[in-house]
Amino acid sequence: MTHNPVPGPESLLALVFPSDPQVGAGGHSAFFVLSRVEEDDPARPEEDFPKPRYRSNIWHSEGGEARQLTRGEGRDTSPRPSPDGGTLAFVREERGGKGQLFLLPLGGGEARRVTRFKGPVTDVSWSPDGRFLAFLSLGDDEDKRDERGEARVITRPRYRFNGRDWLPESPARLWLYDVAADELREWHVPEVEVTSYTWWPDSRGVLLVSSETEDDAAQWRQEAYTLLLDGTRTRLTRWNSAIVSATPHPDGERFVLVGRPEGKGSPEDAHLFLVERDGAWRRLDEGWDRPVGNVVGGDCHVGAFPERPVWLDAETLLFPSTVGGSCGLFRLGLDGTVTPHDHREDGVISAFTARADAVALIRERADRFPEVELNGTQVTDLHARLPFPARAHTRVCFTNDLGEGEGWVLLPDGEGRVPALLSIHGGPHTAYGHGFTHEFQLLAARGYGVCYGNPRGSVGYGQAWSSDIHGRWGSVDMDDLLAFFDVCLTTFPQLDGDRAGVMGGSYGGYMTNWITAHTTHFRAAVTDRSICNLISFGGTSDIGMRFWDDELGLNFHRQEDALRLWDMSPLKYVENVRTPTLIVHSVLDHRCPVEQAEQWYAALRLHGVPVRFVRFPGEDHELSRSGRPDRRMGRLEEYLGWLDGHLLAGEEERPHGLGHHTSHS
């Protein structure tokens, strides 16, 4: 790949994104999805309004160079090889249509279409005996109320959700397809959405996760159930809390779930719990003070990234875990012993599937684009498509009363002084680290020093670190961020603290708003999909009914809590803001609704703060990571335009002076 000396947002178009690695039968092959970007119709490009889109196909490797397996003109995803290795089930989304189930004979021949629903097919899974395929779908249900101009009557606690917009009146059904008989039937009609399921080892049915009522679902109270082939459903747990996934033990009686026990909210790290046949449970990873799953951020994750734990044998569970800024695979014994299986402290395994001793995964580093591996052998070379050289980052440490925190600095080439950016991650219970971030690489290539760290509230450093901001957003987290940034400026004289910018998305956007309302330390700010008013967020976010209870022990509908929520709202302090601010938000963001950006914009305008508000149509909370390519590029163009204008301008153009922050511990 020829490197552009001054890359721009269009560099995104050169990338190919891997996802959904699946181990084939026998463990000697892998199937995965590669997504590229091209025009909506290459034969008829629209000169005035080009619309680059993701195009996805399924690829296959037996340990050597990968080859393309499907050639659909839309998006081919969800590769699921049959247990006998003879057939690949997958989902094909043809131009203008919804994803449908297809079967491809791997010995040769054309793909055969199985479903012709009006709605999409998702979550395809083979039974272990290879007789059945299960999947979720609304079938032919369609919601045309908006097109017909009809009113919506809302009586349920959940009615919109990020990435899906309006939720259907009835949840997706579970369907069962008898492959040999070519017979499809509706298997299970749930009253509440099925969030995950997996087959029992003997193929008698599935272990599924759902909720007893819609109110339970809105409050993140879930249970595990068994669903037999005859349609009989039996509740297995009295969990009454969040369940990420459930995996049957090889004995077909017990199972392990990933989740949080009752009474534990979102600050609690997810862990592994073994559930016995009678519903009794115990935490398996009792001595492991790190979260299960990959929680390290990156912006090159287009598609599905499986991470469900896998039993390698009756005594050993393989699971991913975030450790500091890394994520690796670990083995867990029934005695609770955790040992590394594949963990590199400078890398991230962002997806995996496994069987026995075979593993297909996606691995990345801060300076290495995500690649697919099969049994330790890299089978893709996607990094070669990067149109500019990737830079390695340098670790920086800061301290607080809990101990040592960490972050990283990504510097541009050269020795001259450069503007310094403080980037703040979302969550708040996620982490920055060794994931590949195109945005950071682009900013560094354009001459910015990017500083990104993990203040208290971040995961991967133990439960105490993650929980320390419970009930006090905008206090010790701000202290950590500014202390980290000060260390960066001191450690790297190349960073120009007089040309400093602050930026972040989601919770990072909240902290950007909070910091600019409490210090004049920064010359420019970019607040993306942010929060400014904790009270209105509670009634408008798709998670608002529960989120503040978990995070702060407060809620917007209680009078005595509302005043405390207002105290933690950046909007209360907007009169103090002097920092020119770029606001970026997506219209269909239901996680941090666009009304938050509208309030922040109006308040900044009223106080005479230079502000620019950019609204993206048709996008949700995931714009920066998997949004439509042209809109992702538009977002990056806005970032660069704003930062260049305020941080590369001469000192005489500087609108505000620097100040020092005050501790809010």
Return d(Cα 188, Cα 226) in angstroms, integer: 11
Return d(Cα 371, Cα 352) in angstroms, integer: 12
Tokens at residue 198, please? Answer: 């997996």
Return d(Cα 160, Cα 166) in angstroms, integer: 4
Tokens at residue 520, please? Answer: 């004049």
With beta carbons less than 8 A apart as the criterion, state whether 522 and 422 touch: yes
Least Cα distance to 18 among 378, 543, 557 occurs for 378
Helix ranges (DSSP H) in 475-523? 476-491, 507-516
Catalytic pick from 466, 506, 624, 626?
A: 506
With beta carbons less than 8 A apart as the criterion, state whether 526 and 503 touch: yes
Least Cα distance to 360 among 386, 342, 385 occurs for 342
**506: annotated active-site residue:** yes
Catalytic pick from 60, 621, 624, 646?
A: 621
Q: How far is CA 536 from the centre of its chain?
A: 24
The amino acid at 140 = D
Least Cα distance to 275 among 348, 226, 329, 325 occurs for 226
For the chain, the C-alpha Rg in angstroms (whole number) is 25
Return d(Cα 424, Cα 105) in angstroms, integer: 47
Owner of token pair 């310094």? 420
Tokens at residue 462, please? Answer: 């133990």
**383: annotated active-site residue:** no
Return d(Cα 584, Cα 439) in angstroms, integer: 15
DSSP type of residue 599: H
Which amino acids are annotated catalytic?
506, 621
